[in-house]
Amino acid sequence: MPDVAAPKTSKFKSPGEGSSAAISVATVVALIAAWFIVTNAGWIKPLFLPTPQTVALQFYDYLIGDVNDKPLWQHFVASILRVAIAFWAAFLTAVPVGIAMGMSRIARGIFDPPIEFYRPLPPLSYLPLIIIWFGIDELPKVLLIYLACFAPLALAARSGMKSASPEQIHAAYSMGASYWQVIRHVILPSALPEILVGMRIAIGFGWTTLVAAEMVAASVGLGQMVLNASNFLRTDIVIMGIIVIGVVAYLFDLFMRWVEHRLVPWKGRM
């Protein structure tokens, strides 16, 4: 019989493969360079867009506490605590609700209408009601962020419950697994990638809602710092606060990607 040559491994990569880190870094550098050029050349007035040097100086002053306002670390800690408490409270309640919705038509009929009703509403639309019902202490701030995180977590968990194939479920039953063992050992591991994606989306919504939440009589917080600076037309502080919020949110997203890679390394390789 003639020898059959082993198939050669193609070195061609599809357009979606490979790291885009270098492109991302180059894009950020190009944006900062453009910002530096247009502001230092005087093409845009400092009131509308201050120079990067001015923003960096404000960041340094807030970092060392050399400002009339509270130092940056106090704003940072207050915002982190609000987002963290709201996010984990939403995770502990929304994921079980989503699992129930995915497993029971009764639970789906109960929870689906209110979630789908409030999910597309902007937080500012129901912020006045939250203030009237719960006052202006910490509870309404955390509750507003909680509601922003709840819907994507619940919907992700519900969608993930459909990820397990019927063959896997029938195989588990044929080996003597009980109903709850099938949920724990078959359905939940299959749903984990969707739940982790929902966590990434929810933490992004949480940071997006932070500024609206800290409008409620807050004396400290990154959102409050930005809003207070906008009242005095301090664009440099506003941009500095926006950059800090964006960077922190991006670091959270990177952390969630790392957790996703560690917990579900098989995702995208099937």
* Concatenated DSSP letters of 219-248: SSSHHHHHHHHHHTT-HHHHHHHHHHHHHH
Distances (CA, A) of 242 to 174, 246, 249: 55, 6, 11
Residue 252: its pLDDT value, please? Answer: 86
Q: What is the mean pLDDT of residues 180-201?
A: 83
User: Average pLDDT in the 73-99 region?
Assistant: 92
* Between 105 and 169, residue with greater pLDDT: 105
Residue-wise pLDDT for 243-264, tens only, equals 998 888 888 888 888 888 888 7
| Whether pLDDT at 94 is above 70 | yes
Mean pLDDT, the chain, whole residue set: 84
Share of the chain above pLDDT 90, in %: 30
Q: Identify residue 157 by its one-letter amino acid code.
A: A
**Domains observed in the chain:** 57-263 (1.10.3720.10)
Nearest alpha-carbon partner for 118 in 130, 133, 107, 104: 130
- With a CB cutoff of 8 Å and minimum separation 6, the contacts of 140 are 127, 130, 131, 133, 134, 213, 216
pTM listed for this prediction: 0.79
Whether residue 20 has pLDDT greater than 80: no
**Token representation of residue 53:** 């040097």
Residue 92 has pLDDT above 90, yes or no: yes
